[in-house]
Chains A and B, each alone.
Chain A
Amino acid sequence: MGLLVIFIQKVIGQGIGILYGALGEILTEKSGNLNLGIPGMMYMGGIAGLIGAFLYENSASAPNGLVGMLISFLCAFLCAAFGGLIYSILTITLKANQNVTGLALTTFGVGFGNFFGGSLSKLAGGVGQISVAVTGQAFKTPIPGLSKLGLLGQALFSYGFMTYLGIALAIALALFLNKTRKGLNLRAVGESPATADAAGIHVTAYKYLATCIGGGLSGLGGLYFVMEYSGGTWTNNGFGDRGWLAIALVIFALWKPVGAIWGSLLFGGLYILYLYIPGLSRGSQEIFKALPYVVTIIVLIISSLRKKREHQPPESLGQAYFREER
């Protein structure tokens, strides 16, 4: 029983970061922008949050965890949203190729994170890892009371606020997309920008906002990893390929935010399954780590075979919108 609880905790710890990334990418893709820069932007969010907290903790005489948390939260969101803005200017205004721009942004973001991560270590004294213990602890603070409810409390209520915020955001995004006028307009922009344009919807504004906010959301995934998962420390390339898992999760969830919640748990579980299977060599561990991608490919094959229009990506995904000349 205890082992199962620990497994559940680890699964959720892996899944939530991916969930944020996937939610950001769903919002972005609903506007017709295929942002492959998400992995890089998650790095950007993570390091920006860490820098914010680090500078605060170093300057304040008695750092307050809550303030550190707010500062790092804001820094992570804004920095990743800035990545989304770079992507938007290039692909929406300048009509650059979306795939190339996204991949470049990923390369940039990973480098950005590692560069500043290294600089921060130097600033901190150059020995070992830097740590923002106070802020990290604030992120990890579980729900008082509920987390003490035995095994159930440990399995469901022993996490920091970002876990619950992620799930709430997924539900809110689903409601936004399906139940509001702006959500309807946004989906129309991603499906058929010419139709949206003719209906008087400001296509460019929707694309910019969705891409920037989506970028900010994905940056929170990086922040989650740095603060709650790693407890406020930075390791170069520590975030690994979780950004790509987030993009795979978007496909797996068939562009549905609520589906991404279950998907993130499944991906998180598959990602760490190798730890629980005894007697694996290093090579076979890697095979297990690839399972989420295998599952995504299977989902892609099945959804393509079923040919259900609702399960397809937004129709104009990946294409720049040119208003008709005549």
Chain B
Amino acid sequence: MNENYAIELKNITKRFGKVTANDKVCLSVKRGEILSILGENGSGKTTLMNMISGIYYPDEGQIAVNGKEVSIRSPKDSFDLGIGMIHQHFKLVEVFTAAENIILGLPGQELLDRKAVTKKINSLTAKYGFDLDPDQKIYTMSVSQKQTVEIVKLLYRGVDLLILDEPTAVLTPQEADRLFAVLRNMRKAGHSIIIITHKLNEVLTLSDRVSVLRKGQYIGTIDTKEATEESLTEMMVGKKVSLNIERPDPVSPKKRLEVQGLTCISKEGVTALENASFVANSGEILGIAGVAGSGQRELLEAIAGLIPSARGSALYYPPEGGEKELTIMSAADIAKAGVRLSFVPEDRLGMGLVGTMDLTDNVMLRSYKKGRSFFADRRSPKALAEKLIHELGIATPGTSIPVRKLSGGNVQKVLVGREIASAPAVLLVAYPVRGLDIHSSHTIYNLLNKQKKNGTAVICVGEDLDVLMELCDSIIVMCGGTISGIVDGRTATKEEIGKLMMKTGGIQE
């Protein structure tokens, strides 16, 4: 093991059941170096970092810190080795001040000496160029300020190796620039930094070297000086044996949904979706590609009436003629207005189904308001639940089992089955095969294709480019909240889509 490395990983393998999340991954970070880890969703970046920070323990392989082989079994072990990780979800006490959060849990003189703490924090912030008021309460802070508190917290504890998991995902470009300036100062002071990111421009401007993972495999490490956006995209996306998914030709497509200039601003004031425009036709599957958090979720939820939109419109053209504006209606109004829109959210047991309720009751969520009777009609949902079990091959002992007890694939079949049963004219699905095995995935693809043949306009957000390219008639590529391009699913190449996914600034560029 080389002593020049702050941390060195050799042949790290981690399996979850049959899934190999990391397969013989090697990685090293020198002292005073910024290393980027690049990879698509599900490429095993976070799993790898969780093994360094003590959340998981590797099945095979060695980890060495400063040349000495170590065994990291808990977050505390990792912390004792001077390793600190900043997760995407901050761990801070909201009613405490920054200083109180920074010293939380530390040993020392029992009576707090706030002045001394403030002084030490101020000297740290001055040294690295942070902008932080130690006496400010966390709940009054912006996301960027909270992130600063997290970083200072680690530095205060004497962390040498800092791991940041997609630190810029929640920051404005200006805030990201400030963060980078601080990280460069830390590098100058001899700290080592690992930054997990999807964004190629950040990799190129910030890091010294970049390691690429793809589907749990270690692809390689190159000096950033020698890297270009093209070479990194190629390493990241690679080539893959294609799955055989049916793609019938669209039959007499008609305009079903037209989205124009749709813009959404989140509660935190971040523009999550900007000026999105596209048309979805009946009898077609429209794919949406992009790294997670590029605005896909907001796009679907704005159309479904779940979140308000700041600007723009989503016009629905019913098969029987006429048009309806969706963005001014809530989800309940949309259903009441007779718009045949179905939405399969990515958070199945959070937004889609009620985990503790049984199949019949979950199917009933769609129909209980129907009819005039004082009592809800349980008979037809039960019949539908039985039909779904039979037709989709849902593995369950019966209709009266809480859905959370089913496996992921079966849960998804219940959800998709229920939504399809309402004969939608527009079907929105988000990550329909996430966490499903090949067999279940293909059942879902077949269901989507069946809808397509029935003349439904299907909009499908996916993370696996190979699948999207085989399944979809056209693909919208999103990047940083904007649509960076719309490509034909039959002719587009993976490199083309990959580049659009990484395109900074989207269409304005």
Contacts and interface: CB of A to CB of B under 8 A. Distances in A.
Question: Does A pair with B?
Answer: yes
Interface of A: 179-182, 184-185, 187-188, 191-192, 194-196, 198-201, 309-310, 312, 315, 326
B111 A326 contact: no
B417 to A, nearest CB: 28
Q: Is the interface of B mostly helix, strand, loop or mixed?
A: loop
Nearest to A183: B112
Nearest to A310: B95
B358 interface: no
Contacts of B110: 180-182
A296 B360 CA distance: 44
Given A196-B104, A199-B104, A199-B105, A191 B91 contact: no
Nearest to B108: A181
A185 B105 contact: yes
A121 B55 CA distance: 59
Interface string B93-106: 11110001101111
Given A195-B93, A198-B91, 19 more contacts: A179-B111, A179-B112, A181-B112, A184-B96, A184-B112, A188-B105, A191-B96, A194-B91, A195-B104, A196-B105, A199-B91, A199-B106, A200-B105, A309-B137, A309-B139, A310-B95, A315-B94, A315-B95, A326-B50
B79 interface: yes
Contact of A192 (B94, B112, B137): B94
Contacts of B91: 192, 194-195, 198-199
A314 to B, nearest CB: 9
Contacts of A191: 93-96
Task: List 10 A-B pairs, minimum CB-CB distance, nearest first.
Answer: A199-B105, A195-B91, A199-B104, A201-B105, A200-B105, A191-B93, A198-B91, A192-B93, A188-B93, A309-B95
29 contacts: A179-B111, A179-B112, A180-B111, A180-B112, A181-B106, A181-B112, A184-B103, A185-B104, A185-B105, A188-B93, A188-B104, A191-B93, A192-B91, A195-B91, A195-B92, A195-B93, A195-B101, A196-B104, A196-B105, A198-B75, A198-B91, A200-B76, A200-B79, A200-B105, A201-B104, A309-B139, A312-B95, A315-B94, A315-B95
A310 B93 CA distance: 12
Contacts of B79: 200
Contacts of B109: 181
Interface in B68-103: 75-76, 79, 91-96, 100-101, 103
Contacts of A195: 91-93, 101, 104
A312 B139 CA distance: 13
Contacts of B137: 309
Contacts of B93: 187-188, 191-192, 195-196
A187 B93 CA distance: 9
Interface in B244-259: none
A194 B104 CA distance: 12
B241 to A, nearest CB: 30
B150 to A, nearest CB: 11
Contacts, number: 65
A326 B55 contact: yes
Interface of B: 50, 55-56, 75-76, 79, 91-96, 100-101, 103-112, 137, 139
Nearest to A199: B105
Nearest to B92: A195
Given A196-B105, A201-B105, A309-B139, A184 B94 contact: no
Contacts of B103: 181, 184
A320 B92 CA distance: 18
A326 B96 CA distance: 26
Candidate in B56, B100, B106, B108 with the most chain A CB atoms within 10 angstroms:
B106
A175 B171 CA distance: 39
Nearest to A190: B93
Contacts of B139: 309
B58 to A, nearest CB: 15
A217 B76 CA distance: 34
A196 B105 CA distance: 7
A202 to B, nearest CB: 9
A185 B139 CA distance: 18
Contacts of A185: 104-105
B100 to A, nearest CB: 6
A184 B95 CA distance: 11
A309 B76 contact: no
A198 B111 CA distance: 22
Nearest to A180: B110
Contacts of A196: 93, 104-105
A325 to B, nearest CB: 10
A196 B108 CA distance: 17
Contacts of A309: 94-95, 137, 139
B356 to A, nearest CB: 15
Contacts of A198: 75, 91
Contacts of B105: 185, 188, 196, 199-201
Nearest to A195: B91
Nearest to B50: A326
Contacts of A200: 76, 79, 105
A315 to B, nearest CB: 7
A198 B92 CA distance: 10
Nearest to A311: B95
B309 to A, nearest CB: 27
B108 to A, nearest CB: 6
A315 B96 CA distance: 12
A184 B117 CA distance: 14
Candidate in B79, B93, B106 with the most chain A CB atoms within 10 angstroms:
B93
A312 B103 CA distance: 23
Candidate in A195, A312, A326 with the most chain B CB atoms within 10 angstroms:
A195
Contacts of B112: 179-181, 184
A182 B111 CA distance: 9
Nearest to A202: B105
A200 B154 CA distance: 13
Candidate in A194, A200, A312 with the most chain B CB atoms within 10 angstroms:
A200
Given A198-B91, A200-B76, A200-B79, A188 B96 contact: yes
Contacts of A179: 111-112
B222 to A, nearest CB: 31
Nearest to A308: B95
A180 to B, nearest CB: 5
Contacts of B106: 181, 199
Contacts of A199: 91, 104-106
A188 B102 CA distance: 12
A326 B108 CA distance: 31
Contacts of B94: 191-192, 309, 315
